């Protein structure tokens, strides 16, 4: 009301101005009448109401708003005010509220706030996983006028989607239905050219793994929506997804070393017709995993194509009895306890009975063995005698607990297997464990523990992240560690790991082999008279200042004519390990030792 009151007053003002102008115009013509009127004004006796003729002559509208001229002027003014008001409203709409956004048919719908999943790179910055921009087609079925016709036009472009499925999607009555994901630029263009209202392209990201099968168990893979399903992709899901800075996740893996390890392992798996194999290379000091391969593996770009066993990471998820590799722990405990020295001897002439089982030695040496010989020839009987010398089950269990053998490895993967061991650590269990049975652990846990023993007694948790500081814990003395390394060096020169040293003699390796029989649950160690083996080999290098440690395992390797009908670790896993070290050591900057 206030506004209209003001408008009214302004209207009156305008009327006055217009009447003044009219007066000036008519003044010349009606001089006499004007003079008469002026005289009346000066005489301060103006007529209260001018007669009709006078008002017409003067053209005045000052006296009454009800005059015809005033009405016209006011109406025009109001009309102009109204128009100006509309203009102002539109200005506010355009300038303050801004333009309205909308998408036309077949326009690319993009979400500017969407950030692609961060890259994963190896320790040298080589890309292991990245997200590239693509587009996916979706349909708003409410905007489709003729679903059947559209369903007939799309198949040449969307070949992966059958016509029936297309019809079902188009007739679903939903406002958002995916038609095809991750289209190539050519197919995106083809869909846009169709110009079908209701079919849109949405900006999308596709996760790609340039190295395919290589390190696929470590890196893992994502689903079609870019959510991590396994490996580092899953364990670092939040970090990779919400990475505003787009800093890549840098793994400790070296893709060159990974390739050599995978390549050599595959050769050995093929040569010995093994059903699988796995290998881990670790930096002794930092616990960083340089390479980790498990065969069979899968192509991370097409994870659904392989068998389910291809997705199984033997290194972290698979647990098995470690066999003779556990003798490294047995010797370390024996030496650390102080009850066994390098000069100690053990009677291995007769087999040892544990319940219904009879423990013998493969080499059938049947003699009194010194500690050195018992270790390098991997005597089971001597290992049990050693256990009995240093105190049996309680001491062994305490050391195993210190080594963290009963806990799963703290690596940055979801696929980690828990160790399997008896609840009661009895004397027969301890006897079995002294030569590598009775407890099942993952290869990664085994390597971590052995690494702790040869790394001056410093246990370092394994990691897949470059430069990550890991927990360290002293588990045995440096002297014991040094002695164990020396024993392993002798094993590589004179013992069961000679075949590895043949290939990697330049790098002064120290190692130990292990052959264990697979225990099929409920079926024992022998099925239909056949024993299935897992052969393993662990080696560190160089001996004086160890920097790297390698574990190689072959699952059910077969004997070949070249192995003289043998299928133990010294015939397959050890040569494989030796070949790997010979190839990777120069790349790792390890110079050859002088002869």
Partner 1 sequence: MTRGAFISVSFFLICALLAVLFQVKYTVLDLENEHTKICLLLRSSHEKLRVLKAEWAFLNNPDRLFDLSKKYLSLRPIKGQQIVHYKDLQNSGMGEYDRERLMEIIGCGGKKR
100-108, 209-217, 428-436, 448-456 -> range binding partner 1 (CB under 8 A): 209-217
The closest alpha carbon to 359, from 341, 375, 379, 381, belongs to 381
Q: Can residue 520 be called a binding residue for partner 1 (CB under 8 A)?
A: no
Report, in Å, the least distance between residue 95 CB and partner 1. Answer: 5
- Residues facing residue 282 across a β-bridge: 289, 549
- Out of 33, 78, 127, 161, point to the residue binding partner 1 (CB under 8 A): 127
* DSSP line for 270-313: HHTT-SEEEEEEEETTT-BEEEEEEES---TTSTTTS-GGGG--
CB of 590 vs partner 1, minimal distance in Å: 7
Q: Does 255 bind partner 1 (CB under 8 A)?
A: yes
132 makes contact with partner 1 (CB under 8 A): yes
Is residue 591 close enough to count as binding partner 1 by CB under 8 A? yes
What is the smallest separation between the CB atom of 131 and partner 1, expressed in angstroms? 7
Rounded to a whole number of angstroms, the minimum distance from the CB of residue 133 to partner 1 is 4
131 close to 116: Cβ distance less than 8 angstroms: yes
Residue 272 C-beta-side C-alpha neighbours within 13 Å: 33
Tokens representing 284 are 């002794």
Out of 123, 211, 327, 489, the only residue in the binding site for partner 1 (CB under 8 A) is: 211
Identify the sign of the CA torsion 229, 230, 235, 241.
negative
For residue 463, the 8-state DSSP code is B
Euclidean distance between CA atoms 270 and 273, whole angstroms:
5
| 22 within 8 A of 59, measured Cβ to Cβ | yes
CB of 21 to partner 1, least distance (A): 15
**Binding of residue 585 to partner 1 (CB under 8 A):** yes
**Dist CA 512 CA 537 (whole Å):** 6
Identify the burial level of 345 via C-beta atoms within 10 angstroms of its C-beta, where 0-12 means exposed, 13-18 middle and 19 or more buried.
middle
- For partner 1, which is the closer residue by CB, 342 or 593? 593
What values do phi and psi take at 362, rounded to 5? -65, -40
**What is the spatial distance between Cα 573 and Cα 515, in angstroms, rounded to a whole number?**
9
Q: Between 263 and 566, whose beta carbon lies closer to partner 1?
A: 263
Phi, psi of 351 (to 5 degrees): -65, 160
586 binds partner 1 (CB under 8 A): yes
Among 30, 74, 130, 433, binds partner 1 (CB under 8 A): 130
Among 133, 148, 342, 523, binds partner 1 (CB under 8 A): 133
Number of residues that bind partner 1 (CB under 8 A): 32
Phi, psi of 187 (to 5 degrees): -70, -35
Site string for partner 1, 544-583 (x = CB under 8 A): --------------------------------------xx
Residue ranges in 263-302 that form contacts with partner 1 under rule CB under 8 A: 263
Residues near partner 1 (CB under 8 A): 13, 91, 95, 116, 126-128, 130-133, 208, 210-212, 214, 255-256, 259-260, 263, 506-507, 582-583, 585-587, 589-592
């Amino acid at each position: 009301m206030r506004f209209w009151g003001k408008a009214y007053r302004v209207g009156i003002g305008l009327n006055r101005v217009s009447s003044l102008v009219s007066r000036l115009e008519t003044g010349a013509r009606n001089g006499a009448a004007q003079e008469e009127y002026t005289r009346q004004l000066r005489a301060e006796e103006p007529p209260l109401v001018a007669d009709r003729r006078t008002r017409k002559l003067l053209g005045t509208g000052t006296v009454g708003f009800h005059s015809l001229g005033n009405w016209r002027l006011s109406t025009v003014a109001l009309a102009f005010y109204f128009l100006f008001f509309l203009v102002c409203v539109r200005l506010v709409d355009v300038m303050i509220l801004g333009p309205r956004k909308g998408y036309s048919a077949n326009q690319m719908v993009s979400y500017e706030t969407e950030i692609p999943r961060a890259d994963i790179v190896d320790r040298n910055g080589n890309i292991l996983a990245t997200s590239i921009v693509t587009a996916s087609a979706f349909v708003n079925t409410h905007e489709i006028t003729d679903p059947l016709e559209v369903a007939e036009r799309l198949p040449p472009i969307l070949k992966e989607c059958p016509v029936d499925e297309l019809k079902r999607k188009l007739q679903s009555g939903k406002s958002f239905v995916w038609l095809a994901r991750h289209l190539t630029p050519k197919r995106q263009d083809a869909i846009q050219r169709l110009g079908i209202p209701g079919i849109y392209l949405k900006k999308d990201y596709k996760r790609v793994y340039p190295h395919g099968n290589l390190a696929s168990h470590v890196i893992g893979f994502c689903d079609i929506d870019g959510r991590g399903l396994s490996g580092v992709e899953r364990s670092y899901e939040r970090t990779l997804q919400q990475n505003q800075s787009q800093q890549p996740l840098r793994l400790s893996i070296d893709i060159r070393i990974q390739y050599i390890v995978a390549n050599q392992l595959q050769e050995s798996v093929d040569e010995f017709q093994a059903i699988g194999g796995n290998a881990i290379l670790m930096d002794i000091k930092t616990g960083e995993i340089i390479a980790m391969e498990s065969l069979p593996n899968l192509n991370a770009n097409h994870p659904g194509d392989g068998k389910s066993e291809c997705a199984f990471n033997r290194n972290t998820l698979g647990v098995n009895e470690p066999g003779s590799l556990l003798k490294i722990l047995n010797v370390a405990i024996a030496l650390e306890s102080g009850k066994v020295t390098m000069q100690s001897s053990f009677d291995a002439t007769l087999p040892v009975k544990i319940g219904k089982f009879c423990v013998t030695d493969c080499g059938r040496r049947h003699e009194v063995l010194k500690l050195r010989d018992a270790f390098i020839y991997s005597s089971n009987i001597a290992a049990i005698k050693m256990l009995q010398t240093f105190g049996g089950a309680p001491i062994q269990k305490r050391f195993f607990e210190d080594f963290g053998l009963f806990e799963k490895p703290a690596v940055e993967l979801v696929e980690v297997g828990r160790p399997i061991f008896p609840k009661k650590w009895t004397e027969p269990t301890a006897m079995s464990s002294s030569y590598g049975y009775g407890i099942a652990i993952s290869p990664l846990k085994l390597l971590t523990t052995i690494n702790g023993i040869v790394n001056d007694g410093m246990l370092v948790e394994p990691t897949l992240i470059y430069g990550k500081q890991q927990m360290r814990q002293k588990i045995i003395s440096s002297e014991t560690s040094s002695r164990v390394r020396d024993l392993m060096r002798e094993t590589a020169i004179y013992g069961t790991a000679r075949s590895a040293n043949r290939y990697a003699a330049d790098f002064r390796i120290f190692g130990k082999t292990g052959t264990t029989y697979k225990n099929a649950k409920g079926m024992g160690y022998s099925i239909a008279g056949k024993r299935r083996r897992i052969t393993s080999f662990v080696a560190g290098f160089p001996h004086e200042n160890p920097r790297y440690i390698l574990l190689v395992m072959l699952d059910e390797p077969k004997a070949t004519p070249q192995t003289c009908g043998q299928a133990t670790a010294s015939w397959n896993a050890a040569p494989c390990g030796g070949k790997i070290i010979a190839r990777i050591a120069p790349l790792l900057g390890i110079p050859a030792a002088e002869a």
